[in-house]
């Protein structure tokens, strides 16, 4: 199985960076008990409404991506957060990180991205930068 590395930290399976990731990470035990997986949706939705992009630099095999983003997801498998088709070609031992940079998450963009996400076609979306790197 592959292992990912960001700066000096290692991770397995998936890495998420940004206000939406932080909001869902901070879901309390009480919220999870009371609301189940809907608690993650609620906290993530609050972060989407605030729309706070962050500066991001990603160094990868093909060069460097530099800009503002709302969310970065880097995965080693095709299954992330219940979505089974995020990166359909990803394998746990292919030596690649499959990285998605979501550049904008306004409501109209989000409504376009969700169907693409369900079909495993998110990497073709205008507001998504897709990078495969070792």
Chain segment 100-134, per-residue pLDDT in tens: 898 887 777 777 776 666 566 666 677 888 888 88
The residue with tokens 């409501």 is: 107
Give how far Cα 38 sits from Cα of 34, 56, 126, Å. 9, 29, 28
- Give the DSSP H or E segment for 23: helix 19-25
Q: pLDDT of 23-71, one tens digit each?
A: 777 788 888 788 876 777 777 777 777 777 899 999 999 999 999 998 8
Q: What architecture (CATH level 2) is domain 4-17+53-133?
A: Sandwich (2.60)
pTM for the whole thing?
A: 0.72
């Amino acid at each position: 199985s592959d292992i990912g590395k960001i700066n000096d930290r290692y991770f397995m399976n998936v890495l998420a960076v940004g206000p939406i990731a932080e909001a869902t990470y901070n879901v309390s035990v009480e919220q999870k008990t009371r609301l189940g997986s809907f608690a993650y949706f609620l906290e993530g939705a609050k972060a989407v409404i605030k729309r706070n992009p962050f500066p991001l630099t990603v160094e990868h095999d093909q060069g460097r991506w530099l800009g503002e983003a709302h969310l970065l997801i880097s995965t080693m498998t095709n299954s992330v957060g219940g979505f089974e088709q995020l990166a359909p070609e990803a394998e746990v031992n292919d030596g690649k990180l499959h990285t998605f940079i979501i550049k904008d998450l306004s409501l109209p963009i989000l409504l376009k991205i969700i169907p693409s996400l369900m079909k495993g076609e998110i990497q073709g979306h205008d507001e998504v930068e897709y990078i495969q790197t070792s």
